[in-house]
DNA sequence: ATTGCAAGAATGTCAGACAATCCAGGTTGA
DNA sequence: TCAACCTGGATTGTCTGACATTCTTGCAAT
């Protein structure tokens, strides 16, 4: 009996599993910024051989999720605020463009999905689960990026967002940030739903600038 | 006697050398798009072991310079025109921004470098060496990106440009393209030199749109 | 306290092996 | 004749084990 039908066309390899597991671990903040990763430990924890692990590490290095310095091995990069600022600036460029394009080309079905994800964030925002807040907010934006009509825009954006995941969790846990974030996102949604490209750009820009300011506040207050 | 002083703080590893060599080979069009790369052959040609080679391939995969499909191995991706269009669109976003920022913040010394690189392109444009044309034109833009004040912008841009290197060589060899390209680039330079941000953006946008059109022409005429 | 050294740990790199998978070409059956 | 099947070679995915090089850390000596 084919209880679990496996249509996966490209079989998942050990390398891919390893990359995914490590990426998830990094994005959820399991490792301290600046901390070093020991190959032998990771091998044992993940149950893979050293060559496979090293391939995975090279992939993550190219994604800039880890740094590998020769003869010292891999470590979690500690993002400085100036680097984070640079990322936020490029994110702004991409997100504003995506929101604008999205407004003029999204289909009804995807619009409903966007609405749903906004509702999910609303739910999360009223709770105190900051992980859920970050996740649902990320979902909201990936729907926008996925419907902007340019897969490259989406790809580049994903890469950048991953690198500042560290800041997102902290800024979202700021007092009142989730609620104001909700209001900003609703504005974006309304603009897109109305097909108003200009408004969508404006709302998107406003949202990102506030997110950036929140990130900076959360950073100064604790670091 | 310290004839060749070696201050290189991070020693070059086999892996790095391999990535660099392969990247250069790919960018200079040594491999046909769509062609497969055989690990054992590359190992022999590069004189490295399979584990080292595979690490290098994973890095290049993450840069999107090659594709690796499980159980089939690495190959050179054949870029479709729609993908290339998407890349050109994002490039536009980045380059326009960079040119604008550059206009308002570049220093005198770097401006001279930019001028020199423009002269180098002028020299190449009047020759028939399309490789030199592509190289010098790339130099011109990397100086702009390097002086826009945002290293992330530069990094993302470099990644995108690498992926369409295939088209650049062909479009540059179009009749008269080099000369008109030169005129457009001079406009960009003049705007930046004058510190006119708005003009720099406009000139940069115009240049990219023409480059894109040229790439499309060169594609339709031969493919 | 600073310097120098030595042992241990970790990485960079290779060789070799083997199973799983893919591919090309020939063989078989309708 | 043509399609489906099958088989052998080629290629990749993965592991084990090994060793030289480099880094780190703690101790000893000045």
Question: Mean pLDDT across the stretch A179-201?
Answer: 97
Nearest nucleic acid nucleotide to A69, CA to C1' distance: C11
- What per-residue confidence (pLDDT) applies to B222? 60
Q: CA–C1' distance A170–C17 (Å)?
A: 49
> A157, A115 in Cβ contact below 8 A?
no
Task: Give burial (CB, 10 Å; 0-12/13-18/19+) of B111.
Answer: middle
- What per-residue confidence (pLDDT) applies to A1? 41
Residue A83 pLDDT > 70, yes or no? yes
Confidence of residue A2 (pLDDT cuts 50, 70, 90): very low
With contacts defined as CB-CB under 8 Å, which chain B residues touch A156?
90, 156, 160
- What per-residue confidence (pLDDT) applies to A173? 84
Residue B60 pLDDT > 60, yes or no? yes
Q: In this predicted model, which residue has the larger pLDDT, B3 or A51?
A: A51
Residue B6 pLDDT > 70, yes or no? no
Q: In this predicted structure, which of A144-158, A188-202, A207-221 has the lowest mean pLDDT? A: A207-221
Q: Inspect the interface and report whether the beta carbons of B93 and A93 lie closer than 8 Å.
A: yes
> Which of B56, B150, B158 has the highest number of chain A CBs within 10 A, making it the mutation to test binding with A?
B150
A219 touches chain B (CB under 8 A): no
Nearest nucleic acid nucleotide to B18, CA to C1' distance: C13
Q: In this predicted model, which residue has the larger pLDDT, A121 or B169?
A: A121
Q: Inspect the interface and report whether the beta carbons of A54 and B55 lie closer than 8 Å.
A: yes
Q: In this predicted structure, which of A9-18, A74-83, B91-100, B191-200 has the lowest mean pLDDT? A: A9-18
Give the position of tokens 């995914």: A20
- What per-residue confidence (pLDDT) applies to A170? 86
- What per-residue confidence (pLDDT) applies to A198? 97
With contacts defined as CB-CB under 8 Å, which chain B residues touch A89?
150, 152-153
Question: Mean pLDDT across the stretch B127-152?
Answer: 94
Quote the percentage of chain A above a pLDDT of 90. Answer: 85
Among A129, A137, A146, residue whose Cα is nearest residue A182: A137
Q: Which nucleotides of D are covered by protein (CB under 7 A)?
A: 11-18, 21-24
- What per-residue confidence (pLDDT) applies to A222? 60
Crossing angle for the helix pair B165-172 and B151-163, nearest 10 degrees?
A: 70
Quote the percentage of chain B above a pLDDT of 90. Answer: 85
Whether A73 sits with its Cβ under 7 A from any strand C atom: the answer reads: yes
Half-sphere exposure at residue B136, Cβ-oriented, CA atoms within 13 angstroms: 24
- What per-residue confidence (pLDDT) applies to A17? 98
Residue B172 pLDDT > 90, yes or no? no
Question: Mean pLDDT across the stretch A74-89?
Answer: 96
* Residue B99 neighbours by CB under 8 Å, 6+ apart: B144, B148, B188, B191, B192, B200, B201, B203, B204
- What per-residue confidence (pLDDT) applies to A9? 63
Confidence of residue B175 (pLDDT cuts 50, 70, 90): confident
Q: CA–C1' distance A32–D30 (Å)?
A: 40
- What per-residue confidence (pLDDT) applies to A6? 45
Tell me the residue ranges of DSSP E strands in A65-205. Answer: 67-69, 73-75
Q: In this predicted model, which residue has the larger pLDDT, B181 or B2?
A: B181
Question: Mean pLDDT across the stretch B152-174?
Answer: 93
Domains within chain B, CATH numbers bracketed: 14-75 (1.10.10.10), 81-222 (1.20.120.530)
Question: Tell me: the pLDDT tens digits for A162-181?
Answer: 999 988 888 888 889 999 99
Whether A8 sits with its Cβ under 7 A from any strand C atom: the answer reads: no
A80 touches chain B (CB under 8 A): no
- Residues A52, A93: Cα–Cα separation, whole Å: 37
N- to C-terminal Cα distance for chain B? 57
Q: In this predicted structure, which of A3-12, A70-79, A150-159, B1-10 has the lowest mean pLDDT? A: B1-10
Q: What are the two backbone dihedrals, phi and then psi, of residue A8, each rounded to the nearest 5 degrees?
A: -55, 115
Q: For residue B189, what are the β-bridge partners? A: none
CA angle B95, B96, B100 (to 5 degrees): 115
Query: What's chain A's average pLDDT?
Result: 93
Whether B6 sits with its Cβ under 7 A from any strand D atom: the answer reads: no
Residue A99 pLDDT > 60, yes or no? yes
N- to C-terminal Cα distance for chain A? 57
Confidence of residue B5 (pLDDT cuts 50, 70, 90): very low
- What per-residue confidence (pLDDT) applies to A131? 87
Residue B189 pLDDT > 60, yes or no? yes
Question: Tell me: the pLDDT tens digits for B197-216?
Answer: 999 999 999 999 999 999 99
Confidence of residue A5 (pLDDT cuts 50, 70, 90): very low
Q: In this predicted model, which residue has the larger pLDDT, B171 or B37?
A: B37
């Amino acid at each position: 009996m084919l209880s679990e039908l496996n249509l996966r066309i490209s079989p998942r390899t050990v390398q891919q599993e390893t990359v995914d597991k490590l990426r998830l671990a990094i994005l959820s903040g399991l490792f301290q910024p600046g901390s070093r990763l020991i190959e032998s430990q990771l091998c044992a924890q993940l149950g893979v051989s050293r060559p496979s692990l090293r391939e995975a590490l090279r992939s993550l290095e190219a994604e800039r999720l880890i740094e590998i310095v020769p003869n010292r091995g891999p470590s979690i990069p500690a993002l400085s605020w100036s680097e984070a600022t640079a990322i936020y600036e490029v994110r702004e460029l991409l997100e504003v463009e995506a929101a604008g394009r999205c407004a003029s080309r999204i289909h009804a079905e995807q619009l409903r999905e966007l609405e749903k994800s906004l509702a999910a964030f609303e739910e999360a925002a009223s709770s105190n689960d900051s992980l859920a807040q970050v996740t649902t907010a990320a979902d909201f934006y990936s729907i926008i990026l996925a419907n902007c009509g340019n897969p490259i825009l989406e790809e580049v954006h994903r890469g950048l967002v991953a690198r500042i995941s560290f800041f997102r969790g902290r800024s979202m846990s700021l007092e009142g940030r989730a609620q104001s974030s909700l209001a900003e996102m609703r504005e974006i949604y309304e603009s897109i739903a109305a097909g108003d490209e200009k408004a969508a750009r404006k709302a998107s820009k406003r949202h990102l600038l506030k997110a950036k300011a929140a990130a900076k506040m959360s950073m100064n207050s604790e670091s």
